[in-house]
Amino acid sequence: MPDPGSHGIHRDDRTGHGPRVLVIDDEEPVLQDLLHQLRQDSRLGPVDGATHGLTALRYLAQATEAGTPPDAVFLDVRMPGLSGPDLARLLSRFATPPMIVFVTAHGDFAVDAFELKAVDYLLKPVRTERLAEAVRRVLLALEQRAAPESPLPPPPRPAADELISVELAGITRTVPLSAVRWAEAQGDYVRLHTAKGSHLVRAALATLEKRWADSGFVRIHRSRLVALQAITALRVEGGAMTVCLDEVVLAVSRRHAGQVRDLLVRQAGISSRRR
């Protein structure tokens, strides 16, 4: 069994060829649970733990000097001394920053995770299947970073190149799907909003949701779809979530808030590694 090291470090004495992981959480029971679950994952290499942000910084300095820095850090948000977000900002300055996964009991942290380009964002208590998915995202991000010269697969052409017929002053014109920022149900019609105006088409929002899913559209409300790439900011105030499309602010229903948050966090974490 791995023995806790000195100075609040729980070292993993296993050897493995998978990515190295560091877990940081000031709550000992939570830390032990995460260490146990992650050490059972055969995709990972050694998984060490720390109970304090400052302790973790010393560990990271020593590991980097030894040539064995962690590839990923599972990081609590609210900790004494050095908070998770503060530590994440410091880690982002590393020559090769580790992938960040935030683990928190506070559901209103999605905005910060989105801005800090975390690979994932987990809510406590962490479910086993959700933790496994976070590991999958970490591995994918590491794989993409390891092969920067590899060309990215092209986006699905049919959905991305779709042209939508609209009526404008009695003349039928076409609007590319890529120009649509959000869509709003209006009875038997859907109003498509672009940067230059809006167009009414006869369609069911549910049909468009399925049809445009591969092009990055997500439902944020029973009557609205939004293109993820058009979202410029995410806000959470008093438990209410909104998304901003430049000057346009749209409410996100509680039913869809979790999905929107996860998609945005994932998009920010993965896309930042592709640049």
Q: Are 100 and 67 in contact (CB under 8 A)?
A: no
Q: What is the pLDDT of residue 266?
A: 63
Number of other residues whose CB lies within 10 A of the CB of residue 13? 9
Q: Are 46 and 15 in contact (CB under 8 A)?
A: yes
Q: For the whole prediction, is pTM greater than 0.75?
A: no
> What DSSP line would sit under 210-270, residue for residue?
HHHGGGTEEEEETTEEEEGGG--EEEEETTEEEEEETTEEEEE-HHHHHHHHHHHHHHHHH
Residue 197 backbone dihedrals phi, psi, to 5 degrees:
160, -160
The CATH number of 157-274, from 2.40.50.1020, 3.90.1150.10, 3.40.50.2300, 3.40.190.10, is: 2.40.50.1020
pLDDT in tens, 194-245: 998 899 998 999 999 999 988 889 999 999 999 998 988 888 776 788 888 9
Q: Is the domain defined by 9-146 classed in CATH 3.40.50.2300?
A: yes
Q: What is the pLDDT of residue 33?
A: 96
Residue type, 99: M
Q: How far is CA 85 from CA 53, 91, 94, 121, 270, in A?
A: 10, 10, 15, 12, 18
Helix (H) / strand (E) element for 182: namely strand 180-186
Residue 168 backbone dihedrals phi, psi, to 5 degrees:
-135, 110
Q: What is the pLDDT of residue 254?
A: 87
Write out the residue limits of the CATH 3.40.50.2300 domain(s) in the chain.
Answer: 9-146
Write out the residue limits of the CATH 2.40.50.1020 domain(s) in the chain.
Answer: 157-274
Q: Could you say which residues of the chain have pLDDT below 70?
A: 1-7, 107-111, 148-161, 169, 238, 265-275
Which residues are paired to 140 by β-bridges?
none
Q: What is the pLDDT of residue 131?
A: 95
Residue type, 215: S
